[in-house]
Every structure is written in structure tokens, then in C-alpha cells.
């Protein structure tokens, strides 16, 4: 993508770039003369602090474009859905430049969003000179990412209030940018603890600011079924509620250290709410991938409809953590009918090409004892219960494919044979992902070591809120390279990376944000920025600016250098 890019090579990182011109200050355009130093290539990639670091960027210190009420914003219609975010933000300055969508010829004192079909789907070029601002992209999505870079160049105070200023100085810069990976994701587990719709939207906004494009939404679990399904109303009437919640680690069970909430817990998303999230995310160029877990992690569904299990007995929705023995019966046709119905309704809500079907941590002991499951093994000449799991996933895969969609599953779906065309989400390290890539399957890397945001962020655990374990600080996330261990050919199958935010102990938004920020920013750079442009020391400097933005936006974050 941005093939025709600039020759500037000086990439220092100093100096302040944004300032406001307020009240009766001189807003004359002549003030922004070309700095002598810039001519001598004493060019600073000023303190633009963009995260993720763009693919290529250079700036001429002391050159600015002055945006004021006389500036014309010219937007190609096809880019409008991305560009409008810039228009909305500028309106926070307190003045309203004219917006035209009929012509995009570049003229002085204009901000132009123009089409350039040589640029890739998610890429953009952004050039700010004292004369104008020119954004080029081939899609509204690329234009949107340009607006997110521009947003990070605008005063922090514009995030929130309407300012009473007459102009904004935007630093001269030239950026040519495109992502390293297609899949830049984060998963929220809204089952162990529920995430309010407004909180999801806040997180989607923040994901979008960092050019993340995939929101993986974990919706069914042992501890609660969270998505309304018309054909099976008991899934949410019964399956969305549990009697209590363990507030401590599983290892405290049966000991005096175990603490319980002592009250029931539950909630679910109506179809309208889920569709609203899909729409909200789509407007910010984020795809929502729903996850309907199978064949394990199914206790809440079994509580609603006990016939889904091998034994056909009721099971209380789980109040503790860990891996349950309960599993959908693979021997009954009614199980597949149920799952096909659920997936059909799910696909009606979520237009994503990819549907997550779970597949992890499915214990096989119930299948070993179930006559129907054993008959299924025999009738299909399967070797064992691992091949039965593979049979299960392959059937679901075929169904999902018949609807024009594709499946992704946790790396356990490799066991017993991988379904045709299935994508693999590698979480038990990268081994499963590497194996799948070598087999020619698409892969999303999300190894626990670097991508599990339910891990502690400090070795000093006593000073941290309760987490599942592990140690994954910002520096560790930053080191994440999704193609580690793969040759060039194999690396082509790596679609990207993703953070997973499991919610056993994350009970509210404040804690959620503490676990996500700024680790998500480190991940965004790991999945967007070319390896050779990554620099952790520089990232840490840029982070400081983002902390200020978070303060303004009311985001609860954990400073990377907190002890």
C-alpha cells in the first residue's frame, strides 16, 4: 500500500506540536512559515504520540496548519462514514467549518478527504502542510483510521468539552500507514461477569481509537448464558442467572479462605441490545464476532434444557470457576438441532463472516460413559472421544458454512482432526496456531503469555486486585509478535492477534478498564506497526500523552510503571 511515499527519513521524537489559538490571538496563516531547521532536515517527528506507531511518519517542526471557521472540509462521499468523525470532533472546538461532499479538489485552507485506490483497504495517507490537510484512502475505513490519527494530534481537551476557541494548530506531518495484520482483536467474557451495554460502547470507542477492528464477544458459559434466543427462551430465563458467585480462587473452595457474594447474579442481552452493539461497532469499523461455546462450557444451557446433556439431568448454573465435566451430548440428534437453531438466530444478529464456536476445555468423561455418544463413535468409525469432538466441530462447521459463514475455534479444535476451512485461535501458547498455519489454516494468535489481560500486571500481587494468575505486564504485551516461529510462507496464514479479557474476577467497569488499559495500546502496536518500527522506550514516552487523554475521557488505567 502506500507505495508512493515520501523520502523524508528523519524520525526523531521530540517537541510539542499542538497548540490552541484562542480568543483574540493572531490566527494569521503567515505565522506558520517553513522552519529553517526543517529545511536542513533537522526534522523532528514531533511529539505526535500516535499509538499505534504509523508505518511511516515524518514531520517538519514549527510548521502548522491553522484550522478555523474559514477552513473548508471537503469529503469524497465514499469516505464520508469515516471522515465524519473528524467533522464531529472539530465541532467540539466551538466553531464549524463548512463541509462539502461534492468536490475534493485540493485548495488552500482546506481539509480534503480524497479517494486513492492504490491504498489498501485499511490504509491511509495523511499530509498536513501550512496550506492544507490532505487525507487519502480507498475506503471509509482507511479514512476513519486517518481521523483516529488526527484525533490523537488534536488537543486532549477536545475529547470532552466544547471549547471556546477560534482555531486549532495542527502540526505539519506526513503519514503513510497501514496495519501489519488484518485481525486486531479483543475478547470480552460477558458471561462470568456481565458487561453493561454502555460499558461495551465505551470500550468499542477506545478500541477504535487504537485502530483495533475485531470485538470477540464471549456470550455463553457454565456461569451464564447471555444472549436471548427466541426458540429457546429458558436459555436466558433460567440459564442467565446463578445462585451465588465465588469471589476467590477455586483453590479456596472448601477452605475458610473461600468468599462468596452471598447473592444471586444474572443478566442477559436482548436481541435489540446485541444488534445495537453490532451497529455501534460497525460504525467504528469494528466487526463483532459472537462466540457460542460448544461442546463444553455448557452448564448454563444444560440447566435451561437438561436433555442437552448425556445424562439428561438438571445442573445448576455454575457459581465457581474452572472446567466442568458437563458437555453437550454428541450422541443425540436433538443437540445438533438445538445448536443449529441457536447458531441460526445468532447469525441473524451478527453479520460477521466468522462465527466463534469455542471448542476449548471440553472434558470427555461424560462421553466415555454415554451409550449414545459411544454409538456415535462406533457408527462413524471414530477412534476415540477426541475424534468425536472433531466429528462434533465438523458437523457444526458444515452447518455454519451452509449459511455462507466460517468458523473459528480455540486450538483444541485441532484435536482429532481439524474441520475444513476452520480458523484456529491459538491460546495455549502458539503451538496450535503454528500447527494450523503449517496445515494451511488461517490463525489468530492469542497466547496466554502475552495476550491474557486477566493476568496480573505486577509480580507484587498483593498490591493488585485479584486476578487469575500469571504475569503479563505492558512490556510483555508489547513484545508480542504473532508470527514468531514461522517462516514467511507459513506466516501468511497468521491473520493477527487478540487480547482475551476473561472475567472471573472482573466484576465492574473500573476493574475492567484497569486490566485493559494501557495493555491494549501495547497490543495495538504489536498488531499494527511493522516490527522494525516498534520501540518500547519510545512507546512508553508516547503513553504519557495517552494517560492524559484517559484522564479526560474518564478511563481507569494502570500506569505501566506502577510498582
- For cell 471414530, name the residue: 382
Residue 410 interacts with which of Zn ion, ligand ACM, none, CB < 5 to 8 Å by class: ligand ACM
CA 95 to chain centre: 33
φ/ψ (deg, to 5) at 280? -60, -45
Shortest reach from residue 123's CB to ligand ACM, in Å: 32
Residue 232 or 502: which CB sits closer to ligand ACM?
A: 502
Shortest reach from residue 470's CB to ligand ACM, in Å: 11
User: Exposed e or buried b for every residue in 38-65, given b needs 16+ CB within 10 A?
Assistant: beeeebbbbbbbbbbbbbbbbbbbbbbb
410 binds ligand ACM (CB under 6 A): yes
Shortest reach from residue 412's CB to Zn ion, in Å: 18
Residue 228 or 422: which CB sits closer to ligand ACM?
A: 422
Residue 331 interacts with which of ligand ACM, Zn ion, none, CB < 5 to 8 Å by class: Zn ion
Residue 179 or 447: which CB sits closer to ligand ACM?
A: 447
C-alpha 138/C-alpha 6 separation (Å) is 19
To the nearest 10 degrees (0 to 180), the angle between helices 371-379 and 385-402 is 80
Residue 310 interacts with which of ligand ACM, Zn ion, none, CB < 5 to 8 Å by class: Zn ion
Residue 361 or 464: which CB sits closer to ligand ACM?
A: 361
360 binds ligand ACM (CB under 6 A): yes
Among 205, 311, 341, 361, indicate the residue that binds ligand ACM (CB under 6 A): 361
247 burial via Cβ count (<10 Å: 0-12, 13-18, 19+) = middle
CA torsion through residues 361, 389, 495, 121, sign: negative
Residue 295 interacts with which of ligand ACM, Zn ion, none, CB < 5 to 8 Å by class: none
Shortest reach from residue 500's CB to ligand ACM, in Å: 6
Q: How many CA atoms lie within 13 A of 93 on its CB side?
A: 26
Residue 52 or 331: which CB sits closer to Zn ion?
A: 331
**8-state DSSP, 66:** E
Residue 370 interacts with which of ligand ACM, Zn ion, none, CB < 5 to 8 Å by class: Zn ion
C-alpha 561/C-alpha 142 separation (Å) is 33
φ/ψ (deg, to 5) at 201? -65, -40
Interface with Zn ion by CB under 5 A: which residues? Answer: 310, 329, 331, 370, 372-373
282 burial via Cβ count (<10 Å: 0-12, 13-18, 19+) = middle
Residue 52 or 185: which CB sits closer to ligand ACM?
A: 185
Residue 373 interacts with which of Zn ion, ligand ACM, none, CB < 5 to 8 Å by class: Zn ion
Residue 184 or 216: which CB sits closer to ligand ACM?
A: 216
C-alpha 436/C-alpha 499 separation (Å) is 20
Q: How many residues bind ligand ACM (CB under 6 A)?
A: 4
DSSP 464-526: S---SB----HHHHHH--TTTT--HHHHTTEEEEEEEE--SS--SHHHHHHHHTTHHHHHHHH
Residue 427 interacts with which of ligand ACM, Zn ion, none, CB < 5 to 8 Å by class: ligand ACM
Among 427, 480, 514, 539, indicate the residue that binds ligand ACM (CB under 6 A): 427
CA torsion through residues 88, 90, 96, 99, sign: negative
Shortest reach from residue 509's CB to Zn ion, in Å: 40
Which residue's CB comes closest to ligand ACM? 360
Residue 64 or 410: which CB sits closer to ligand ACM?
A: 410
CA 195 to chain centre: 15
Q: Which residues are near ligand ACM by CB under 6 A?
A: 360-361, 410, 427
Amino acid at each position: 500500500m502506500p507505495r508512493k511515499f515520501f523520502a523524508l527519513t528523519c524520525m526523531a521524537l521530540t517537541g510539542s506540536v499542538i497548540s490552541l489559538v484562542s480568543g483574540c490571538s493572531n490566527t494569521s496563516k503567515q505565522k506558520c512559515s517553513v522552519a529553517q531547521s526543517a529545511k536542513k532536515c533537522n526534522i523532528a517527528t514531533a511529539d505526535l504520540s500516535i499509538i499505534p506507531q504509523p508505518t511511516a511518519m515524518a514531520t517538519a517542526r514549527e510548521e502548522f496548519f491553522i484550522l478555523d471557521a474559514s477552513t473548508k472540509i471537503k469529503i469524497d462521499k465514499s469516505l464520508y462514514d469515516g471522515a465524519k468523525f473528524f467533522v464531529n470532533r472539530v465541532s467540539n472546538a466551538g466553531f464549524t467549518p463548512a463541509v462539502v461532499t461534492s468536490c475534493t479538489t485540493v485548495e488552500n485552507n482546506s481539509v480534503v478527504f480524497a479517494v486513492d485506490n492504490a491504498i489498501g483497504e485499511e490504509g491511509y495517507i495523511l499530509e498536513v502542510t501550512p496550506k492544507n490537510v490532505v487525507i487519502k484512502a480507498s475506503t471509509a475505513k482507511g479514512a476513519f483510521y486517518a481521523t483516529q490519527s488526527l484525533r490523537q494530534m488534536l488537543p486532549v481537551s477536545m475529547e470532552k468539552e466544547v471549547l471556546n476557541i477560534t482555531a486549532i494548530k495542527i502540526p505539519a506531518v506526513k503519514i503513510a500507514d497501514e496495519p501489519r495484520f488484518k485481525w486486531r482483536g479483543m475478547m470480552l467474557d460477558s458471561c462470568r461477569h456481565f458487561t453493561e451495554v454502555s460499558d461495551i460502547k465505551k470500550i468499542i470507542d477506545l478500541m477504535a481509537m487504537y485502530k483495533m477492528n475485531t470485538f470477540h464477544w464471549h456470550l455463553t458459559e457454565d456461569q451464564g448464558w447471555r444472549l436471548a434466543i427466541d426458540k429457546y427462551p429458558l436459555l436466558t430465563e433460567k440459564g442467565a442467572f446463578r445462585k451465588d458467585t465465588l469471589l476467590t480462587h477455586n483453590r479456596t473452595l472448601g477452605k475458610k479462605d473461600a468468599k462468596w457474594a452471598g447473592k444471586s447474579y444474572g443478566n442477559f442481552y436482548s436481541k435489540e441490545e446485541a444488534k445495537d452493539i453490532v451497529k455501534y461497532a460497525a460504525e467504528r469499523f469494528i466487526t463483532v464476532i459472537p462466540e457460542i461455546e460448544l461442546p463444553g462450557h455448557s452448564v448454563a444451557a444444560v440447566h435451561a434444557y437438561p436433555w442437552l446433556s448425556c445424562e439428561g439431568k438438571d445442573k445448576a448454573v455454575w457459581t465457581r470457576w474452572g472446567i466442568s465435566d458437563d458437555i453437550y451430548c454428541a450422541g443425540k440428534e436433538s443437540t445438533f438441532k438445538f445448536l443449529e437453531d441457536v447458531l441460526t438466530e445468532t447469525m441473524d444478529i451478527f453479520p460477521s463472516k466468522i462465527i466463534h464456536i469455542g471448542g476449548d476445555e471440553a472434558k470427555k468423561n461424560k462421553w466415555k460413559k454415554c451409550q449414545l455418544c459411544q454409538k456415535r463413535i462406533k457408527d462413524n468409525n471414530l477412534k476415540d472421544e477426541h475424534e468425536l469432538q472433531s466429528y462434533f466441530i465438523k458437523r457444526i462447521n458444515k452447518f455454519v458454512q451452509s449459511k455462507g459463514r466460517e468458523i473459528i475455534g480455540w486450538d483444541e479444535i485441532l484435536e482429532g482432526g481439524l474441520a475444513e476451512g476452520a480458523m484456529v485461535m491459538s491460546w495455549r501458547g502458539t503451538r496450535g496456531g503454528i500447527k494450523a498455519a503449517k496445515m494451511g489454516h488461517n490463525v489468530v494468535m492469542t497466547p496466554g503469555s502475552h495476550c491474557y489481560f486477566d493476568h496480573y500486571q505486577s509480580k507484587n500481587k498483593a498490591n493488585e486486585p485479584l486476578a487469575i494468575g500469571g504475569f503479563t505486564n505492558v512490556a510483555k504485551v508489547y513484545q508480542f509478535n504473532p508470527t514468531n516461529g514461522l517462516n514467511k510462507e507459513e506466516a501468511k496464514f497468521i491473520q493477527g492477534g487478540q487480547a482475551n479479557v476473561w472475567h472471573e474476577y472482573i466484576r465492574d467497569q473500573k476493574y475492567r478498564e484497569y486490566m485493559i488499559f494501557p495493555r491494549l495500546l501495547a497490543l495495538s502496536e504489536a498488531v499494527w506497526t511493522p516490527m522494525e518500527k516498534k520501540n518500547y522506550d519510545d512507546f512508553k514516552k508516547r503513553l504519557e500523552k495517552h494517560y492524559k487523554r484517559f484522564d479526560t475521557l474518564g478511563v481507569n488505567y494502570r500506569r505501566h510503571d506502577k510498582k
